[in-house]
Amino acid sequence: MRIHKRDRSRRRLLAVLLAGVLAISGASVLAAAAFAGQRPWWSQAAAAQMGTVACGDVGANLATVPEAAQPDVDRDLADLDVQVADAYRSLSQPGSGGGEKRVMDTLAQQRSATLRKLSASAGPDAGLPTDLSGLANCSIRRDLVVDASAKDFAPDAQSGVADRSKSSKGGKPGLGRGFVDIRSVAPNVVKPARTGPASGTFTSQCGRNENRHLNPDNVIVAPGVSNGAHHMHDYVGNLITDGFSSNNRLAAAGTSCSNGDQSAYYWPVLRLLNGVNESDFKAPGGGKDRNVGRILQPAEVGITYSSTTGNKVQPMTRFLRIITGDAKALTNGPANAHASWSCTGFENRQLADKYPSCPQGSRVVRTLKFPDCWDGKNIDSANHRTHTAFSKADGSCPRNFRAIPQLVERVAYDVPSGVRFAVDSFPEQLHNPITDHGDFINVMNRNLLDQMVSCINEGRRCG
């Protein structure tokens, strides 16, 4: 039977449109599928479009917690994270956890019970609302979705549609809307004007985690909890850092730093998404929490302290804990996001919510800047933030805070050209680059702390 040329054109058009519809509707838009090494979309059954589980950040609401109650509160906060991860897992596996409403109702009941325990432990001055229902009830954010349809394309957390456009050079498939060619970004880094004489730097050379010190714990936010982070961390410095490291254990441990700095420096690992799994692909913090792919060892790690504005700094106390960035910034919003991404040779251009696509021979760079003001009293706070702060635009610290050396971690990677990568994250945070963060526990001895301050204040480059 002969088919008219116009009919053939129409059929081809219908086929293309149908393929596009199937690609979008058949894709699980959960990050779990995007990074769990599942079969490509064309071999999967169609699934309804889903978003990500968004819950109120209970920890951010805490203003003060009695010291004796802090361990119980931390464990309850960790339980809340486990509950969200479990709900997310149920939603990403249709048929295993019931319908969407049932999963979310179960999550609300679990959170209500945990919140009541947490509130009782924290006491009336903790800062939690009297009515806890707002924190117990979570939602599914339809605007926070990814497209898991095609393994060769990165997810777009905004539109949920993979970018099948060509790259700007070479005509090869683009990495996706989650990535930006760094050459297309205008320079956006403004160096603060130095108003004082403290122009020195202090550097700790701590290696690149050659000893593969990795675990999914977080001794600051979830002490005493295994897999408290639900994602894998890279560690340099202190050799024994895990979720159960007491101050005494940290002080007695060795270090990878050449100057004897025993501090703990850690951040989420970066994984190469080329279809090769790491040994943790079935383990907590790894594949069980939707973090898959080969873990990249950093090619460079820089640990540098300075005064960004040139104002003189004072020593920080031993065992001071500081975090930067927000591991839940995708659902919390960008208020506490302080990490950025770039490429070597282009570090005057920084990205916050996109991954950089770097030219051949250029390394991917993560920059983590830590708060440079401290209240002068507390080594930690109920929400792990309010005892430190970032200096103001004029370089001054908030009232009753003192200027301390600012830690900047610069971590660079050799990523093969055209290959996707992603930072580890809580499962519901979709591996979004805006969730990048770093943690630091100061375990320097007094001599090293004094040396740091004198180097910075006297304008010397040390280390």
Q: Which helix (H) or strand (E) holds 113?
A: helix 100-122
Question: CA-to-CA distance for 230 and 136, rounded, in angstroms?
Answer: 20
State whether residue 364 is helix, strand or coil: strand
428 phi and psi, to 5 degrees? -80, -5
Tens digit of pLDDT per residue, the chain (463 long)?
444 444 444 444 444 333 333 332 332 222 222 222 222 222 222 233 457 899 999 998 999 999 999 999 999 999 999 999 999 888 877 665 558 899 999 999 999 999 999 999 999 999 999 999 999 999 998 777 543 322 332 333 332 222 333 333 333 345 766 899 999 999 999 887 777 899 999 999 999 999 999 999 999 999 999 999 999 999 999 999 999 999 999 999 999 999 999 999 999 999 999 899 999 999 999 999 999 999 999 999 999 999 988 999 999 999 999 999 999 999 999 999 999 999 999 999 999 999 999 999 999 999 999 999 999 999 999 999 999 999 998 889 999 999 999 999 999 999 998 899 999 999 999 999 999 999 999 999 999 999 999 999 999 999 8
How far is 54 from 144, CA to CA, in rounded Å?
Answer: 9
Sequence-separated (6 or more) residues with CB below 8 Å from residue 78: 222, 225, 228
State phi, psi for 271 to the nearest 5 degrees: -120, 140
Q: Which residues contact 314 (CB under 8 A, 6 or more apart)?
A: 402, 403, 404, 453
Copy the structure tokens of residue 438.
């770093």
Closest C-alpha among 397, 445, 433, 426 to residue 221: 426
Contacting residues for 277 by C-beta, under 8 A, at least 6 apart: 37, 287, 292, 293, 294
- Tell me the residue type at 441: I
Q: What is the pLDDT of residue 155?
A: 35
| Overall pTM > 0.85 | no
Q: Give the Cα separation of 172 and 178 in Å (integer).
A: 16
